[in-house]
Amino acid sequence: MSGRRLRVEVPMRWGDMDAYGHINNVNLVRMMEEARIAGFGVPGGTGKPGNDPMVELFSAVPANTQILVVEHRVRYVSPLEYRNVPAAVDLWLSAVKAASFDVCYEFHDPVDGGVCVRASTTLAFFSVENQRLLRLPPAERAKLEEFIGEPVFR
């Protein structure tokens, strides 16, 4: 299984750095969110118009449906050191289940290209009206298929 990957660039801010010159772990989770939005879009009905995502995957969810974070997993392979250039992040999907799926990430050093961080975020569709998780509709599952690849963690 080797689904399509997207590569996005996520800026590193001076304030993202910890005392050791590495991107702080809390800010890395924020960068995961930035990468997810740049690649797959803003969940439908949120925010104002801005940059178009690479793929409109999350922008067309049904009304009264939220895409919620269930879990984050992060593995630091090597330090992602602050640089005044964006980090390259590869994105793809895995572990598509009845009501959830994982967004997978590989963060690359923007200078030498080495992998610094591997991570995943489990997302689920949530009905605001019924206050419960929703099964992924067939149309949404079909949109995900193109991006399904190997999981980051086994």
pLDDT, tens digit (0-9, with 9 covering 90-100), for 63-116:
788 889 999 999 999 999 999 999 999 999 998 998 899 999 999 999 999 999
Average pLDDT over residues 35-55: 74
Name the token pair of 89.
């992040």
Percentage of the chain exceeding pLDDT 70: 92
Of the candidates 64, 95, 77, 80, which has an alpha carbon nearest to the alpha carbon of residue 20? 80
Rounded to two decimals, the pTM is 0.90
Q: Which CATH class is domain 6-145?
A: alpha beta
Of the candidates 65, 73, 124, which has an alpha carbon nearest to the alpha carbon of residue 99? 124
